[in-house]
Structure 1
């Protein structure tokens, strides 16, 4: 992937997320109206509400991770609320240990790194995101990791020995997106921890 491929991928990601956000939002509003009038109650309604909430959270997360990004800052509250919604939809607990607003393109890198960690933690775990000066560290910890060594060895260069599946696209996008920002990805893995720095 070259820079033009990254830009095209971002445009596609932005378009898909943009087109899906509106109908998901409309379904959420419709469900809230049904709840207000008491038209539908019970486990069926909870299942639908939970599923729509999960889908909305993932789409908003993907919009940052896969969409076009700028230097426009994202505040702590906005990011933390989004990550809390994502936590409800999955098995990860994510700690955003930043207090100041940061550029959206750097949040994008952090979200792609979170997705890489998530890939290694099918049974869940904890992810911590922190900065020291201009350097970012994203650390995933779990009792049991499922590491694809080819992915983790190739993430620094963006070159992989095997063809990536759709579920692994973040491993290609992270180093390429970082490169367009003048950053380089480094990765370390142990039996219970993965660490990405950029």
Structure 2
């Protein structure tokens, strides 16, 4: 990737982060404005509850993006599996009607694998616009980490440009805040000597990755 592409990708990832943070941060701002003028004790209690919820959502999203998009300082080359698990559960809790089933065979994963896992989960959660089930699995076999995320529900919303970003066929002109995360993990997988794949039906989306654990991994 040349410098111009790197800058474009970073800008699109920042745009995605800002887009996702706008709602909870805006709710905080609105709540504080209401709190400044509201005198009814019951109403003030309701506003305080909304402020606490918005603050928690904002915190959860920032923690998620820090590890999914960023350099994630503070973590070593391997990350305890409970970290991405808790971040995904918090992200799903912000939606309605999503149930998660886990099949995680490893106590920890390499940081690139964690980034793929988190971004797969976000894509899958976004696809479940009417709720549904997430099946998330990861294990290391024969020197490679295998990751599978399956979203199933009554309606699957999946932009095919995200699929093109995942399989590496995305045209540079199609890079946007919507496709940037998928493009990033595609580059990460390629740099690790692995690859990503996906399959979609009317009621399911399956995302898969194989990432060798040896060689020069991109952190």
TM-score (norm 1): 0.72
The structure whose Rg is larger is: 2
Q: Per the alignment, in what secondary structure is the counterpart of residue 155 of structure 1?
A: helix
Q: CA deviation at 1:49?
A: 0.5
Q: Please state which structure has a larger fraction of its residues in strand.
A: 2
The unaligned stretches of length 5 or more in structure 1 are 28-38
Instruction: State whether structure 2 residue 176 is matched by structure 1 residue 173.
Output: no
TM-score (norm 2): 0.66
- The within-5 A match list for 1:1-198 is 1=1, 5=6, 9=10, 42-68=45-71, 72-91=77-96, 92-99=98-105, 100-132=107-139, 133=141, 134-160=145-171, 163-198=174-209
Between the two proteins, the alignment pairs up a number of residues equal to 176
* Dislocated runs of 4+, deviation >4 Å: 1-4
RMSD (Å) for aligned C-alpha atoms: 3.3
* 1:73-112 CA distance string (max 9 Å, x none): 2223333332232222234444442141112221101111
The unaligned stretches of length 5 or more in structure 2 are 29-40, 210-219
* 1:18-61 CA distance string (max 9 Å, x none): xx9xxx9xx9xxxxxxxxxxx99621111111011011111111
CA contact (8 A) 2:161 2:170 kept: no
Q: Per the alignment, in what secondary structure is the counterpart of residue 185 of structure 1?
A: strand
> Whole-Å Cα distance in 1 between the matches of residues 165 and 178 of structure 2?
16
